[in-house]
Amino acid sequence: MKADLHHILPMQMVNHFSKYLGMPTQMGRSKRQVFDYIQDRIWKKLTGWKEKHLSFAGRSTLIKAVAQAIPTYIMSCFLLPKNFCYHIERIT
């Protein structure tokens, strides 16, 4: 089917699927693999904030606000696995 569309429409064929607006354009069987990038984004932000000079209360507020906003945006389009949500809560 992909080859048929490639012949009909003047589009470039790709073997991998990218992200659009920060979300995957297609999901396969392994949802855990698809949503690992969310966990990576949150973890990168957390490690960056640990190095900055923030008070404990300021860092805690910042972590809760941003770490909850990233998955909420994704959850508006996809149903996240329960195990993944539990892991995000454990990080924060």
Helices and strands (H, E) in the chain, number of each type: 5, 2
Residue 92 has what pLDDT?
A: 65
8 A C-beta contact, residue 47 and residue 38 = no
Per-residue confidence (pLDDT) for residue 28, from 0 to 100? 65
**pLDDT for position 26:** 66
Q: What is the mean pLDDT of residues 61-73?
A: 77
What pLDDT, on the 0 to 100 scale, is given for residue 16?
Answer: 64
pLDDT of residue 52: 67
- pLDDT of 12-58, one tens digit each? 766 666 666 666 666 666 667 667 777 777 778 777 766 667 777 87
- The Cβ of residue 44 has, within 10 Å, a number of other Cβ atoms equal to 10
Phi-psi region of 12 (alpha: psi -120 to 50; beta: other; left: phi over 0): beta
CB 63 within 8 A of CB 73: no
Question: Mean pLDDT throughout 2-10?
Answer: 75
Q: Where are the beta strands (DSSP E) in 1-92?
A: 19-20, 23-24
State the pLDDT at residue 79: 76
In the Cβ-directed half-sphere of 83, how many Cα atoms lie within 13 Å? 5
Q: What is the pTM of this model?
A: 0.51
For the record, the structure tokens of 46 come out as 């957390």
